[in-house]
Amino acid sequence: MSVEVLASWSEGSAKDAVIDFVVESARHGSSGFIPTVERIAAFDNDGTLWVEQPMPVQAPFLLEKLVAQVRADPSLADEQPYSGIVNHDEEFLRGLAQQVPDAVLAFLKGVGAAWEGTTPDEYETEVREYLATHTHERFGRPYTDLVYIPMMELFELLRTHDWRVYICSGGGRDFMRVIAEDTWGIGKENVIGSAPEFVYKEGKLVRENSMRGNLALGAGKPEHLFARTGRLPRFAAGNGDVDIEMLEVADFGLVVVHDDKEREYAYTEAAEQILDLGPDHGWTMASMRDDWVTVFDQGGMT
């Protein structure tokens, strides 16, 4: 008797390549065998595990928080990043979207100040509240419903072959950890992301207005993965140019290609290089349109 795997993937070379690599990695005597301790798989989050259009899920959460800060203290509206946000300053917002350093740094400064002095539990409560009360502007569903079912099946395939699955995203570590266990079935400890510093004083952890190391983007991805696990991943999946380095270090690279404007989105922005480099690197290019039978869970469009 055989067990069906990757049921939401269309028959074809992408599905075959993924299954072949994972099954061989666990077959003793295979040329593709990988010792169990080395079976570390790393996944980007936004655009790889769930919808990142029209903007990454965390962005409206952060923007809403900064707007609330200005409401509580109107004098903030005179300075960045608050003035750019409340005045819908197109140049500032475009700078943020295009990751212009000045804009990003001003934004992170605002984010750092917003939660300075709070505990991890307080932040988790805010994220849960946000996710429970907001829906995606196009799909009208909670964000956690917009996780790609084919990727959840891939987690399961990896786990049943003794892989440890890590998330490695430039997004906020503590934001992702809130959904890790319920939505992904992954322990909080397997989530790597950009993060603030916390200090332990008087019996509790309190958030500081400073970042913990570099952002988990680009070269930061293998750097964070090594720091966390002591190894580099043998399997890696991403969808954007900031995932290139993480795929470079892996034996198997999977690229999610956003070419399905009917069921999700079709775009190449911030993915031009990975789409160009992928085939030359031998990475498996998974077309959302052609390789996935189902994108989202039953409740929505499939």
**For binding to a copy of itself (CB under 8 A), which residues are involved?**
37, 40, 120, 164, 173-174, 177, 180-181, 187-189, 191, 195, 197-201, 203, 205, 212-213, 219-220, 222-223, 226-232, 245, 248-249
Peptide bond into 54 cis (omega under 30): yes
Give me the torsion for CA of 152, 153, 158, 164, rounded to 10°: 20
Q: Which is nearer to a copy of itself, 21 or 123 (CB)?
A: 123
d(CA 234, CA 43) in angstroms, rounded, equals 11
Write down the least CB distance from residue 199 to a copy of itself, Å.
6
Write down the least CB distance from residue 85 to a copy of itself, Å.
29
List, in sequence order, every beta strand (DSSP E) within the chain.
Answer: 40-43, 164-172, 191-194, 196-201, 204-211, 235-238, 252-257, 284-287
d(CA 278, CA 257) in angstroms, rounded, equals 10
Name beta bridge partners: 238. 255
Q: Which is nearer to a copy of itself, 100 or 219 (CB)?
A: 219
Write down the least CB distance from residue 203 to a copy of itself, Å.
7
Who's near 270: CB < 8 A, 6+ residues apart? 240, 241, 242
Q: Which two tokens stand for residue 137?
A: 């502007």
Write down the least CB distance from residue 46 to a copy of itself, Å.
19
Q: Which is nearer to a copy of itself, 149 or 216 (CB)?
A: 216
Write down the least CB distance from residue 180 to a copy of itself, Å.
8
Q: Which is nearer to a copy of itself, 136 or 224 (CB)?
A: 224
Q: Which is nearer to a copy of itself, 150 or 233 (CB)?
A: 233
